[in-house]
Amino acid sequence: MSDHDEIHDIHSAEEVSNTGLVLPGQSLPTTVYVIPIHNRPFFPAQVLPVIVNEEPWAETLELVAKTEHHSLALFFMDNPPEDPRHFDPNSLPEHGTLVRVHHASREGGKLQFVAQGLSRVRIRGWIKRHRPPFLVEVDYPHTPSDPSDEVKAYGMALINAIKELLPLNPLYSEELKNYLNRFNPNDPSPLTDFAAALTTAPGAELQGVLDTVPILKRMEKVLPLLRKEVEVARLQKELSAEVNRKIGERQREFFLKEQLKIIQQELGITKDDKSADSDEFRARLEGKVLPEQARKRIEEELNKLSILETGSPEYAVTRNYLDWATSVPWGVLGTDKLDLKHGRKVLDKYHSGLDDVKDRILEFLAVGAFKGEIAGSIVLLVGPPGVGKTSIGKSIAESLGRPFYRFSVGGMRDEAEIKGHRRTYIGALPGKLVQALKDVEVMNPVIMLDEIDKLGSSYQGDPASALLETLDPEQNVEFLDHYLDLRLDLSKVLFVCTANTLDSIPGPLLDRMEVIRLSGYIAEEKLAIAKRHLWPKQLEKAGVPKSRLSINDAALRAVIEGYAREAGVRQLEKQLGKLVRKSVVKLLEDPESKVKIGAKDLEEYLGMPVFRTEQLLSGIGVITGLAWTSMGGATLPIEATRIHTLNRGFKLTGQLGEVMKESAEIAYSYISSHLKKYGGDPAFFDQAFVHLHVPEGATPKDGPSAGVTMASALLSLARNQAPKKGVAMTGELTLTGQVLPIGGVREKVIAARRQKIFELILPEANRGDFEELPEYLKEGLIVHFAKRFGEVAKVLFPV
């Protein structure tokens, strides 16, 4: 039988069996076409548009249109197949909804019709199931009326929930009107279905409602869904109200501000942003004395600012330039305190010792006081780490009453840091000097350039060369910053530079600076610094009262001798900080206790001493030399010995630099050729293989000042006689036996005193350097000044 014949027979069967359940004004067919839907189940109480694909449901709708009842069954499918022509009929749920089709139309490959829900429907058997159109034989589950009080109570609960939902979401009111027009509100079955249709519950839950025929059970399922919907709608309304309130407030604020701006402009009370910027920049220039070139340039930029739009990038660049140019304190000078007594008081307050440095600074103040102003100078403080170079810079500023600005140039590799970037790119800034003047707000501050010996250099430029103009009193009257492109007068600035060593500072830069040397401290100075400055500072830092924690002088001396023997006092400060921290632990354990630290307690707090009292090396071929390092002065023992007499030879060890090796060669040559003169066997070196060693082999050593010491060690070996004890020496030796001058006399004298050596041999040319030393350093010293090596030999090997 063909499909067409099959359908014709079905129509006949339908006409015959039209005697099933009859609702008012309509009869329900026993065979209907089926279309599956995917979003959510369709309920009998609904009247809604339904959209399906034209392919493959067009033929189904055409056949429905030809039936008298114009009805079809809609069944919900949770997971529809990609191709609806190949779906499993068993995947359809038990119940669907019979709907009457109204106003079918097609558009853009879709079919749309209004579906009017009529009744629950159940498939009794399939008539056509292989491909659309699907045809089934159906029956209609009967919902028995249940007039019980429980059903009435549920009905009232549903109606109340619907009433609550209506004000929260006005969209539901239209659906309710449609429902009330078509159904009796007292009929619980349509009411329950309508309530379920109002919710946004998942499709599976709604299908469960559709499958539940008994009215009471169905009501029990629908009421929680409806209550949940009411809560969700209420929450959404609250959130929406809050969002609207915030937006409303901001809009109101915005409108009010805009209105206020316009009213103020109309009344002349305020100006727009551009006028406000211009007025601010002009106000900054009041009271400042600008050079003509700077005034002209700033006026040009202000005129340019008034033409530009505030939103343009050029406006931002011009505004930034004017911000910097008007922040420079043109012609504004601070008043100096030219009072020598005040200056000395400040220097003594913060620094113990360093009398020669203080005198030099006071001379500098005196000249300024005599003249009435202190013109810019460039001072370079050189000394080992921890001797107080940076703090002296601060003290100079305080004694003058000038603002102080410090920046470290250590490791700086970009010359734009000094002279500024050019304005050709985004993010350009003026150099550090302009930034300093902006911060201090006067043209005569004290500016400290820290660590000037550690300037770097790279492809971005050479900052040391950029500093030449800055630190030259003849040139810095017209210092040019690349960003401002204006001439600045830095001649009133007092520059204070600091360095650990002069070796790495370029010659032309060093030539522009006045060098003041800060040497290390001797034990007595360190003791005074610890008592007056370091210990009170550590107590204050830890918040410990003086009455609860104290240290005696013997303990401080023991810390200086055993734990902090460096030239400066930074290590000493660290050790005192450690003592305070350890003591605070004890004070916390016993709140009533007081801690007194003596010399015997130090090992408990600080561990074993780092430095021991050095036994000065003595014997044949052993001499104590004096050396200078960037960390201060040091003693340098030198040893010489004969290994064998098989052949002539000379060996050097101790990680010596090129200059020191040359000094050793000169000493060996000089002593070899003058042995007879100095009482040695002239043939000694002809058969001897000699080894010369400088201890502390891990430390690199270089310099010419060990020449005399090496020659003395070789002479002692050749004479087979130990030199005089307790003598240290320094000096450069030539091949003709002359003793040449050396540097670092002060540091070397301090190193000798630290090692309890009180007899020194220095070059005659350094007599002046020694005489200039403070009396407390020279006190108790026996110093021999030598022009030639013969004078050294007389001291070491007296006849």
What stretches of 107-214 show up as alpha helix (H) in DSSP? 149-168, 171-182, 188-198, 203-211
DSSP track, 220-243:
HHHHHHHHHHHHHHHHHHHHHHHH
- 531 phi and psi angles, rounded to 5 deg: -70, -45
Beta bridge partners of 763: 786
Query: Tokens 């003047």, residue?
Result: 437
Asked if residue 287 belongs to a known ligand binding site, the reply is no
Cβ atoms of 125 and 187 closer than 8 Å? no
Asked if residue 384 belongs to a known ligand binding site, the reply is yes
Task: Tell me the C-alpha distance between 621 and 692, whole Å.
Answer: 9
705 is catalytic: yes
Of the candidates 397, 390, 498, 513, the one whose C-alpha atom is nearest the C-alpha of residue 445 is 397
Asked if residue 389 belongs to a known ligand binding site, the reply is yes
Task: Tell me the C-alpha distance between 747 and 519, whole Å.
Answer: 6
Cβ atoms of 690 and 650 closer than 8 Å? yes
Q: Catalytic residue, from 119, 352, 395, 705: name it.
A: 705
Q: Catalytic residue, from 748, 756, 787, 794: name it.
A: 748
Task: Tell me the C-alpha distance between 364 and 374, whole Å.
Answer: 8
What stretches of 684-735 show up as alpha helix (H) in DSSP? 684-687, 707-719
Task: Tell me the C-alpha distance between 530 and 539, whole Å.
Answer: 12
- Cα of first residue to Cα of last residue in the chain, in angstroms, is 149
Cis peptide before 741 (omega within 30 of 0): no
Query: Tokens 């800034």, residue?
Result: 429
Q: Would you state the structure tokens that stand for residue 505, as one six-digit string? A: 């500072």
Asked if residue 387 belongs to a known ligand binding site, the reply is yes
504 is catalytic: no
Task: Tell me the C-alpha distance between 72 and 49, whole Å.
Answer: 14
Q: How far is CA 623 from the centre of its chain?
A: 54
Task: Tell me the C-alpha distance between 48 and 30, whole Å.
Answer: 23
21 DSSP 8-state letter: -
Task: Tell me the C-alpha distance between 232 and 161, whole Å.
Answer: 13
**Is 690 buried (19+), middle (13-18) or exposed (0-12) by CB count in 10 A?**
buried
Q: Which residues are annotated as a binding site for ATP?
A: 383-390
Q: Which residues are annotated as a binding site?
A: 383-390
Active centre residues (catalytic)? 705, 748
